[in-house]
Structure 1
Amino acid sequence: MMKDFIKILMRFVPPYKKYLFLNIFFNILSTILSLFSFALLIPILEILFKIKESTYTYMEFGSASFKDVFVNNFYYYISQQINQYGGGSALMILGAGLVFMTFLKTGTSYLSSYFMIPIRSGVVRDIRNYVFKKVVSLPIGFFTTERKGDVMARMTGDVAEIENSIMSSLDMMFKNPIMIIVYLTTMFLLSWQLTLFVLILLPFSGYIMGKVGKTLKRSSFEAQQQWGTLMSQIEETLGGLRIIKAFNAEPKIKGRFFKANQRFFKLTNRISRRQALAHPMSEFLGTLTIAIVLWFGGSLILSGHSSITAASFIYYLVIFYSIINPAKEFSKAAYAVQKGLASMQRVDIILSAQNPIQDPEKPVVKQEMNRQIEYRNISFKYQTDWVLKNVSITIPKGQTVALVGQSGSGKSTMADLLPRFYDVEVGGIYIDDVNIKDMKVHDLRSMMGNVNQEAILFNDSFYNNITFGVENATMEQVIEAAKIANAHDFIIATEDGYNTNIGDRGCRLSGGQRQRISIARAILKNPPILILDEATSALDTESERLVQEALENLMRNRTTIVIAHRLSTIKDAHKIYVMHEGEIVESGTHSELMALNKYYKKLVDMQKV
């Protein structure tokens, strides 16, 4: 466990090493001050019980060891105080000294926690940033195997668990070992026989704690996995409410969720019960150890074979009792860290995911297209079956090329390969004879604008949705883009015009309005290459007319790839490629393909029926 914990610290704590140094410094100072405050108990006990009747004379520093001179002179001043003003006065001075030392101890203890807080909150902030940055940078292919709800659970529940367990335990993990080491050293100096006896007892309790901690980590991992399943079900339910209600599937969905929730309930109960066991178990073992030490140490003193006095033995017991609490906290922290490590494993699945879409070491600088786009003998598969097989097409600059075919024929895959949402496995895609893998991904995608079947909008204003991905756009440019996209009129009819919020995914707009906003966004970007993926297939006739007009405005003087189910929208394309089972089976203009009387004509005739 400690190895994994140290790995996490090595990854995330270095930016906060200044705070870590200050925390450790004040922890050491606090522990030393606590020893001095406890040490005042010895003279207090000796005065109260009249144990020490020795006579002291003042010694010059340097006449003996510093410790001996310091202790002798301390007792000299105390005895002088007792002789002049009585034992009560000496006790009052010692009590005031104890209060002052405790004030210093608690003050330094607070400062150690004060400097730990920026580490805890900063590391959690950094982990969230790293995870979000990684999620945004990962290729689309990653999210075809990972459920969105589970990814959300890792970014929320798992990171929160890391904060509540590992980060909350940081102070204990740094402070308590220091206290244990300093206290043990002092105990050795007081009585090495007694301390050796104590050290024989401690591994026994540590072994029991370790056995329980291992099962806790395993259960915590299962619980976080189950939490991811729950989040996935919630996300799917919210996204599919319309279908759930249409098919009267509420009982089925509720039953599935209740079953998963019951499993999560059982797992969390098991984990919480194990965690609840930590405190009583450590308290029982600590009390048992103290009782045994009390018996063993008392026997040594009563037998007269011990170098430790009765007052020093009380001091020893106070230190030993003080070591019990850090040991208990340390064991509780170990439990919490076990739970957090399970969450860290799940977060690491995202952080360690490899992105195959990378910039080349020496990229070709290219920010515009001069001649053509070429797909040269490309083949591609998502998993095992080839989706595209040895496909070659050429798209001259300024022309519109359409890809048509039945669902699953590979049209959308062709479009996704151009901006490198996925990478070609065989063959290559070239812009002016430059392989797109030799370009920076940012430069490549800057040349392209996308309008998809489902208009992907954000819970923001019209203005911010249209300017998405475009820096420093003026209001005049936004209005002009909206006018070209036939969107200006319905935008200004809303309560706040371009500052009106359009709701989650544009839920306050109709399908045609959402599509025209996405077209306005593409117009404002002004890309030389345009990809239209079934941009009108989900619209009614009136909306399609307005959107089609907006698309024609957008396509003017641009190199365009159109993927269409409605063949009426691509009659004017310069070239149409007909795809079937991942291959190009026909190509030509609309009239040429109709004259061939093969695949394309069949598709047209099917839509006429």
Structure 2
Amino acid sequence: MKIYLRILQYAPGIRSQLIKFLIYSILASIFSAIYLGLLQPMLDILFIQKVDAGATSYPEFAFSMDYFKTVVKYYFSDVIHEDGPLQALLYVCLFIVTFVLFSNVFRYMERMVASRVKADVVKNLRIHIFKNVSQLHVGFFNDQRKGDLISRFTNDVGEVENTVVNGFKAVKEPITLITYIIVLFSISTKLTLFTLIVLPLTGGVISEIIKRLKKRAVQSQETMGRIVNILDEAFSGMRVINAFNARGFLLRKIEDEATFHRKVNLSISRKNELASPLSEFLGVIVVAFILYYGGQSVMAGDKELPPSAFILFLAVYASMIQPAKNFSNGVTSLQKGVVSAERIFAIIDTPSAIQNKPNAIHLEQFKGSIEFKNVGFAYEREPVLKNINLKIEKGKTIALVGPSGGGKSTLADLVPRFYDPVEGDVLLDGISLRDYELESLRKQMGVVTQESILFNDTIFNNIAFGMPHVKEEDVIHAAKVANAHDFIMQTEEGYRTVIGERGSKLSGGQRQRLSIARAVLKNPPILILDEATSALDSESERLVQDALNNLMKNRTSIVIAHRLSTVQHADEIIVIQRGEIVERGRHDDLIQKDGLYRKLKDIQRV
């Protein structure tokens, strides 16, 4: 129940919406029950045409069903005496149509309230999921499957949408059932008491079904997450799949997961669909008893249960079967939605390892230096960086080189606080990065990585990404600095050309130059270049390197490179091996030392 109430909190003004829903549900049930409950006295007068003594004078007011029955008899007896049975029959028909109309109007209004709440919950829940997930630290996405995250955003939210509707059914149908039970008591107390005996039995059966549903619902949602993940990887890597003839391998993986998903969903369906037939079967057993017991009373001439009352009792009880089925279906279906909601809230409640301190400092401008003091870092328990001490003065270019896996990229990731060190501290202008407001800190930095992160949008929007209200001339200037303007103008629609998913319509060098143009437009004082040219051919590398040289002018730059020829002019080269600084100095000095840097340089000459 706590999970469901938390879901409803995503609908604005939920209290007023629930009050409206309850009012409309009660009114719809009352109008539906009134025409059934007051049908008996009309039938008595119309078809038996006998007026009780109680109907010849207006009764004294009493809040009871008998009072309302007597009032109806009083007025309809007058109609029959004055206008005849045919006119009374017309009034009966109009009476039924009017009350059914009101009942359905309120039922429509009740459903619209539920639909509005459902739409608001789905919209706000999706926004909240993305808002929270996008704030999580980079390491979170290394541990999580992207397909599972997408599944929670789509499939799980879809299940929650159904849960909102089913939850409202679970609230609405008891109101209808209680209203009908009141009418049944007014007709025959003995028969009604017996019908209530079966309710605990039905509830026990449904409760057992619900317990078995939950485990399967978890398996179903987890399996769907794995399927989405396989599809995402397959569609992204179709070139490799075809090159290695791996289509059959992936097809078997999909078949295995889809087969298990089918098995789990069939199990859920068997249990879910069992609730309604069982409740209906138990209800029919009661109807059979009512027919037998009530029929005996009618045939014996029981004055407490005349034929019209017996027929009305059967009609009202028959009207209860569908709401009872809806209630049982709603309760059993809630379980799958609750499981999905738990998966969603598990993501929403995941705290980010990188957060702003209370009263964090807003960084207006980078003025002095970046300093690493005795910095150590580890992924889980495996050390990646050990006792790093390094100071980068403003306007200087520092190159990080060394064997793969040495910790170069991790060291650079500490500067924009993608991670925090587990030992020591990183300072900017003498203040710990943890003390700065995260958004203002990252505003001072631009990152260009080996893999160009582009979006299925226009060239203009990719360069201006995250920077609203940018002038076109500024975007063009950034593209020219990045050596991208010429190839952009050769595309079909220039800066309005859509470049496909992840920039698939462009070459590697073109994608990289768009990433550089984006960094130029941002104009950050601190620049981080992580293997920005390593995946390019010689011609593209030259163009990109020229663009990078333009970008690094008058900036503080941290350059990670395997191609040592691209960092020879750095102010200082830091050689990192197994998480430690083993050499440092300018290019010529390191060559003369004849250490690891010289060894790496000689290897690249071969």
TM-score (norm 1): 0.95
Q: Distance in 2 between matches of 1:82 and 1:543?
A: 99
Q: 1:420-439 residue pairs with structure 2 within 5 A?
A: 420-439=417-436
Match of 1:250 in 2: 247
Distance 1:441 1:36 in 2: 63
| Deviation larger for 500-509 or 290-299 | 290-299
Q: 1:503 corresponds to which letter in structure 2? A: G
Q: How does 1:99-248 map to 2 (within 5 A)?
A: 99-163=97-161, 165-248=162-245
Judging changes above 3 Å, is the alpha-carbon distance between structure 1 residues 75 and 48 closer, same or farther for their aligned structure 2 residues? closer
The one-letter code sitting in structure 1 at the alignment partner of 2:79 is: Q
State which of 502, 512, 523 in structure 2 corresponds to 1:505: 502
Question: Greater CA deviation, 464-473 or 552-561?
Answer: 464-473
2:487 counterpart letter in structure 1: F
Higher mean C-alpha deviation, range 517-526 or range 167-176: 167-176
Q: Could you tell me whether the CA contact under 8 Å between 1:530 and 1:558 is conserved in 2? A: yes
Alignment check: 8 A CA contact 2:51 2:77 kept: no
User: 1:361 maps to what in 2?
Assistant: 358
Q: How does 1:341-360 map to 2 (within 5 A)?
A: 341-360=338-357
User: CA 1:445–1:64 in 2, change beyond 3 Å: closer, same or farther?
Assistant: closer
Q: Is the 8 A contact 2:198 2:282 kept in 1?
A: no
Provide the C-alpha distance between the structure 1 equivalents of 2:13 and 2:78, rounded to a whole number of angstroms: 54
Matching residue of 2:442: 445
Deviation of 1:344 (Å): 1.5
Match of 1:326 in 2: 323
Q: Matched residues in 1 for 2:150 and 2:55: separation?
A: 74
Aligned ranges 1:2-21 → 2 under 5 Å: 2-9=1-8, 11-21=9-19
Correspondence for 1:581 among 570, 578, 583: 578
Q: Does 1:605 align with 2:577?
A: no
Query: How far 1:416 sits from its partner (Å)?
Result: 1.0
Pair 1:179–1:249, CA change in 2 (3 A): same
Partners of 1:59 and 1:72 within 8 A in 2? no
Q: Distance in 2 between matches of 1:83 and 1:484?
A: 100
Q: What residue in structure 1 maps to residue 32 of structure 2?
A: 34
Q: Which residue of structure 2 lines up, in the alignment, with residue 378 of structure 1?
A: 375
1:545/1:318 CA distance change after superposition, 3 Å? same
Query: Unpaired runs of 5+ in structure 1?
Result: none
Residues 181-240 of structure 1: CA distance to partner in whole angstroms, max 9, x if unpaired?
222233334444333322221111121122122222221211111111111111111222
Alpha-carbon distance between aligned partners in 1 of 2:228 and 2:217, rounded to the nearest angstrom: 16
Distance in 1, Cα, partners of 2:156 & 2:174: 27
Contact map agreement 1:40 1:94 (CA 8 A) in 2: no
The question of 1:91 aligning with 2:82 is answered no
Which residue of 411, 416, 419 corresponds with 1:414? 411
CA distance 1:267–1:125, change in 2 (3 Å): same
Select between 11-20 and 379-388 the one with higher mean Cα deviation: 11-20
In 2, distance between residues paired with 1:66 and 1:505?
Answer: 72
- How far has the Cα of 1:34 moved from its partner? 1.0
Aligned to 2:557: 560
The secondary structure found in structure 2 opposite 1:560 is strand
Show CA shifts across 1:369-404 (max 9, x none): 111000111111111201111111110000000111
**Correspondence for 1:592:** 589
Change (3 A) 1:51 1:218: farther
How far 1:477 moved relative to its partner?
A: 1.0
Deviations 1:148-192 (A, max 9, x none): 1111111111112222x2133244123212112222233334444
1:262 is aligned to 259
Which residue of 73, 80, 83 corresponds with 1:82? 80
Q: Which residue of 2 aligns with 1:276?
A: 273
Residues 541-550 or 298-307, more deviating: 298-307
Q: Alignment partner of 1:169: what SS?
A: helix
Using the alignment, how far apart are the partners of 2:181 and 2:389 within structure 1? 76
Q: Which amino acid aligns with 1:199?
A: L
Q: Distance in 2 between matches of 1:323 and 1:70?
A: 22
Q: How does 1:50-69 map to 2 (within 5 A)?
A: 50=48, 52-56=50-54, 59=57, 63=60, 65=62
Residues in 1 aligned to 2:213 and 2:245: alpha-carbon distance in whole angstroms: 41
**Compared with structure 1, are the counterparts of its residues 158 and 71 closer, same or farther at alpha carbon in structure 2 (3 Å cutoff)?**
closer
Q: Post-superposition shift, 1:20?
A: 2.7
Is the Cα contact below 8 Å between 2:45 and 2:77 reproduced in 1?
Answer: no
Paired residue secondary structure (1:168):
helix
Deviation at 1:501, TM superposition (A): 0.9
Secondary structure of the structure 1 residue equivalent to 2:13: helix
SS in 1 for 2:573: strand
Tell me the amino acid that sits aligned with residue 52 of structure 2.
S
Bigger Cα displacement from structure 2, 88-97 vs 554-563: 88-97
> Following the alignment from structure 2 to structure 1, what is the Cα–Cα distance between the partners of residues 71 and 254?
75
Does the 8 Å CA contact 1:59/1:69 hold for their aligned counterparts? no
SS of match in other structure, 1:459: coil
Distance 2:67 2:221 in 1: 60
Gaps of 5+ in 2: none
Counterpart secondary structure, 1:527: coil
- CA shift, 1:307, in A, is 4.6
More displaced 10-residue stretch of structure 1: 63-72 or 422-431: 63-72
Distance 2:272 2:229 in 1: 27
Q: Does 1:544 align with 2:546?
A: no
Superposition deviation, residue 69 in structure 1? 6.0
Q: Per-residue deviation at 1:50?
A: 1.9
CA–CA distance in 2 between the matches of 1:82 and 1:582? 101
CA displacement 1:84-133 (0-9 Å, x = unmatched):
34333322222221111111111111111122211111111111111121
| Greater mean alpha carbon deviation, residues 175-184 or residues 356-365 | 175-184
Q: Give 1:351 deviation, angstroms.
A: 1.2
Say how many residue pairs are matched: 605
8 Å Cα contact 1:450-1:532 kept in structure 2 = yes
- 1:464 alignment partner, SS class: helix
The answer for the alignment partner of 1:47 in structure 2 is: 45
The answer as to whether partners of 2:402 and 2:575 remain within 8 angstroms in 1 is: yes
Distance 1:392 1:5, change over 3 A: same
Q: Given the two structures, how large is their TM-score scaled by the length of structure 2?
A: 0.95
> How far does residue 598 in structure 1 lie from its aligned partner after superposition?
0.9
Whole-angstrom distance in 2 between the partners of 1:361 and 1:515: 38
Deviation at 1:479, TM superposition (A): 1.0
CA shift in 2, pair 1:64/1:36, >3 Å? closer
- The verdict on how the C-alpha distance between 1:119 and 1:237 changes in structure 2, with shifts beyond 3 A counting, is same
- Write the distance in 2 (CA, Å) between the matches of 1:454 and 1:487: 17
Provide the secondary structure at the position in 1 that maps to 2:416: coil
Task: Please state how far the C-alpha of 1:14 moved relative to its aligned partner.
Answer: 4.9
Deviation at 1:516, TM superposition (A): 0.7
Aligned counterpart, 2:400: 403
Is 1:470 the counterpart of 2:467? The answer is yes
* Alpha-carbon distance in structure 1 between the residues aligned to 2:227 and 2:322: 38
Q: Tell me whether 89-98 or 544-553 shows the greater mean CA deviation.
A: 89-98
Aligned mate of 1:25, from 3, 23, 26: 23
| CA displacement at 1:300 relative to structure 2 | 5.7
How far 1:310 sits from its partner (Å)? 4.1
Distance 1:469 1:14, change over 3 A: closer
**Aligned partners of 2:557, 2:145: CA distance in 1, in Å?**
33
